[in-house]
Copies of this chain bind each other. A is one copy, B any other.
Amino acid sequence: MSADEFSFISELARFAGQSEESLDLADDGALIGKLVLVKDLVQAGIHALPDDNDADVVRKAIRVNLSDLAAMAAQPKFILLGLCLGTKSKPGQMPALAETIRKECEHFAVHLIGGDTVQGSGPTTVSITAIGEVKHSPVLRSGGQIGDNVWVSGSIGDGALGLKWLQMGQQNPELSKLDAKDTDYLAQRYRWPQPRIALGYQLASLAHCMIDISDGLAADAGHLARASNLSLVIETEKIPVSAAFQNWRNRNGSPAEQWKTLSAGDDYELLFSAPMEARREIEVVAAKTGCPVTRIGHLEAGNGVVLRLNGAVVDWPVSGFTHF
């Protein structure tokens, strides 16, 4: 996000904050009664590959929005689809696109209830409004407490590695050494995010604060830390990675590159904090929902993100990340 965009959103938040439903524009969504509303845009070439077909772009748009609902412990109920077809959109692909939308709705048990479709003159751009319901109240970014454990779901870095594979393929010296099983897995992780809906919903009464990792582990940890006004400490050696990521890491000697990949985003995993006493219950919920979780750190007094490696504080390893 550029400085101009940042100050733009600050300015919007200044007057939007007058309504409690906006949650000060500081969270993943808005709250009207028990309804959580999220709305994220996806554009081909920016959040999806330039040559992805419309079904890929729409699928990704639906899933990243459902991930935002999961991050607020909301059960997805409805979506509205704003579809601006691009100059590369092919009329012949419309039936397949409709079928993709039907399947996504069925898979996630959500109903398509509105929106519109227009032919635009740029790349395909998709705006999803997703609406979910919380049991009692949402989990916000701001609820973290000193002493909380910090947890993350699934594995980190796969989406970024999948994107690199899709962009560079065999031209990337390390990725080209992976077998097809690994590269297929990584590409799939980029293309088909898995919103952690069941996990997020079950964490409603356990988690103090929560976010989904879209901007990257470091950036989103920073969002939680800032909103909770605390310091979020990550024990970097505990960050869970997949077998495919491990295979890539074994072939890549650069810690900077590894770090960059771990924090590049497109994970759509949940990052949350919870009190020490909830540890056992969280593990039960993880087992029940089939979504592994890993403790990677804790919250303490202070502000911002602190990285540790085997107990010692390490400098932020990549200069580009110093803006957190």
Contact = CB atoms under 8 A, between A and B. Distances in A.
Interface of A: 2, 4-5, 7-9, 11-12, 15-16, 18-19, 21-23, 25, 29-30, 32, 35, 37-41, 43, 45-47, 78, 80-86, 91-92, 94-95, 97-99, 101-102, 105, 111-123, 125, 127, 129, 131
A314 B38 CA distance: 49
A19 B113 contact: yes
B119 A122 contact: no
Q: Taking the full assembly, how many copies of this chain does it contain?
A: 2
B125 A38 contact: no
Nearest to A18: B111
Q: Which 7 residue pairs across A and B have the least CB separation, nearest first?
A: A122-B122, A127-B127, A19-B111, A30-B113, A30-B114, A11-B98, A4-B91
Contacts of A35: 32, 35
A81 B22 CA distance: 12
Contacts of A116: 39-41
A94 B117 CA distance: 27
A83 to B, nearest CB: 8
A222 to B, nearest CB: 18
A84 B2 CA distance: 14
B45 A121 contact: yes
Nearest to A91: B4
Contacts of A5: 85, 94, 117, 119
Contacts of A114: 22-23, 25, 29-30, 37-39
